[in-house]
Amino acid sequence: MRRAVNDLLGAYDKLIMDPVHGGIPLYRHEIQVIDHPLFQRLRNICQNDILSLVFPGATHSRFLHSIGVMHVGTRMFRAMIDAYLRERQLSEQTDLSLSQLDAIDYLAKVIRLGCLLHDSGHSSFSHQFTQARRIRDLMSRPGRFADLWAGVDYSLYHREEPEELEHEHYSVRVAHEVLSQVDLDGAGLFSQDVIGIMETTDVLPSATFQRHAHTFWQFIAGEDAKSGALINSDIPRMVMDLLKSIVSGEIDADRADYMLRDGFHSSVTIGGFNLDHLVSNLRFGWDVSEPWLGLAITQKGLGALEDFVYSRHQMYRKVYAHKTALGFDWLLREAINEVLEDPDNFHWVDTCLSDMRYFAELTDNFFWEAFRKVARGNPRSFSFCIVNRIKLDHLDTREDLAGPQIERHSRWLASKLGLAPTDVVTCSMRARFSNIQDNFNGIKVLSRDPINRTRSLKKITDVSAFFSKFGDGTITHFYARPFSQL
C-alpha cells in the first residue's frame, strides 16, 4: 500500500542534485515551469541579498531555494499520508480506492507547484529591494497594481486591489503568467488551485479541487467525516488552508528549507535541526466539532519542533542580524536609492515593476552593473562601498530599545564621539516571535491511547512550556555613516 502511495507522482523526468537535500525529482510540467524565463531569473537573485560579504559561502540563489521548498513540501505531505496509513494499520494488500489515490495525487501536485512558485516574485536582492525608500515609493504608486494586471482578471486571485504591493503579490502575478504558458492540462491541474495556496490570495477552487477535497476529507476523518457541524461548502476551504500551511505556516516548507540552506552555505551550525525527525512526526489533525483540519505533531516529535523554533530564533540573532550584515544591508538600500537617482535607471525599474514582459530583467546583475558605474564616477558613494566591501564602522549594539530610546542613544553616541547627529546610522532587526504561542496553538499535539486506540488533540502550549518563552526581540546596531570624521 505505502509503495503505491510513494509511486503516486509516477516516474520522474529529471533529477536535480541539491547540496542540501541530495537528489530532487522533477516532473514534466514542473520542468516547464522551471525553464520559463520568469523562473530562470531566480538564478540571478541571491537568497540572502549580500550576506556573502559577511559569510562568503552564502551565494546561493532563490532558484535552488524554491526547488528545495518544493522538495520539503512534498516530503511533509507524503510523510503524513504514509504515517496515516501506517497508524491505521492498513495491510500491504489493502487498496485505496481510485478516487482516494486521485485526490492524494492531485493535492500533492498542487503543493509541489505552490511551493515551487512561492518566491517567484522576489526582485533584486530579495527582501532588501522592497525596503529601499525609492523602491517602496515605486511599488506604492497609484495604479501600479492595475498596470501589473493589465488585460488580466486579477479578481480570480484577489478580492480587492492592495494599497501597497509586496513581493508576494508579484509571486502571484508571476505564477499566473508562468502557469498560463505550461501544459497544466497534461498534468490534470488548474492554475487557480496552485495560486490559491500562495500568500495574499483568496481563490474559489476548481470543481476538480472541490471534488478531491471532499474525497480527501472522508479519507482522513473516516467515520467522523459526516458528523459535527461541518457543511459541505466548508470542506474545500479547510483542505486548501491545510495546503497553505505547508507552503507558508509556522511549520512550513519555506522556513525548513531556508534555515537548513542558509546555515549550510553560511557554514554555521546554529540553524541546524533534524528535518527527518521533524517530518516523520508530522500528522494530519482534524476535529469535526470545530471543525478543524491542520497540522499536528506527535509528542515524540516535540523535541524536533522545539529545535526547529530555537534554530530559527538563533539564525535571526546570529546570522541575519549580524552587526556587519545589517550594516551592509543599510549600505545596499542606500546604494539602490542612489542608482535610482539616474532617470534612465528609474524609468527602467519602473517599467519592469509594471510589465511582465520585462520583469525577468530585474535581477541582482542589473544593480551590480549600476553600482559599478556609480562607483567609477564617485569614490565617496554608497555604491563604491558596496562594490569595494567598505563596511560601516560599528559603534555599539543594544537590544529591545523602543524608537525614542534608539534616538536618544544615537544622539548620546554622536556627542561622545564628536559626530554630527546625522552621522550616526541605526539598523534594527525585529525577530518576530511574540505571536509564536498563538500561532503554534493552531498546530495540535496528537496523543494516542494504545489500549483504547483513541486519539486526542491538545494545544501545543498545553503540552510544552517551551513555546511560551519567546517574545519579540529587537537588535539595534549603531554605526558611523561612511566618510564621516571619527
| DSSP states of 219-275 | HHHGGGGGSSS--TTHHHHHHHHHHHHHHSSSS-HHHHHHHHHHHHHHT-STT---H
Say which residue the cell 541546524 belongs to: 272
At residue 2, the pLDDT reads 46
Per-residue model confidence (pLDDT) at position 60: 95
The whole-angstrom separation of Cα 250 and Cα 442 is 9
Lowest-pLDDT choice from 218-232, 268-282, 305-319, 472-486 = 218-232
Mean pLDDT of 91-97: 61
Give the Cα separation of 286 and 293 in Å (integer).
Answer: 4
Check if the beta carbon of residue 138 is closer than 8 Å to that of residue 353. yes
Long-range contact pairs involving 206-214 (C-beta distance under 8 Å, separation at least 24): 208/106, 209/106, 209/110, 209/236, 209/239, 209/240, 210/235, 210/236, 211/103, 212/102, 212/103, 212/106, 212/107, 213/103, 213/238, 213/239, 213/240
Q: Which residues pair with 449 in a beta bridge?
A: 454
Compare 273 and 452 and report the one with higher pLDDT.
Answer: 273
Mean pLDDT of the chain: 89
Judged against a pLDDT cut of 60, whether residue 397 lies above it is answered with yes
- Residues 240, 197 contacting (CB under 8 angstroms): yes
pTM of the predicted model over 0.75? yes
Give yes or no for residue 115 having a pLDDT over 60.
yes
Round to whole Å and give the CA distance between 174 and 176. 5
Q: Which three cell numbers stand for residue 46?
A: 541571491
- Separation CA 223–CA 230 (nearest Å): 13
Pairing of strands 424-431, 282-287: unpaired
Predicted confidence (pLDDT) at residue 224 exceeds the cutoff of 90:
no
pLDDT score of 1 more than 50:
no
Residue 359 is which amino acid? Answer: F
Which grid cell is 62?
532563490
Q: What gap in Å lies between CA 63 and CA 66, rounded to an integer?
A: 5
* Per-residue model confidence (pLDDT) at position 453: 62
Cell of 424: 550616526
pLDDT per residue over 38-84, tens digit each?
999 999 999 999 999 999 999 999 999 999 999 999 999 999 999 98
SS3 372: helix
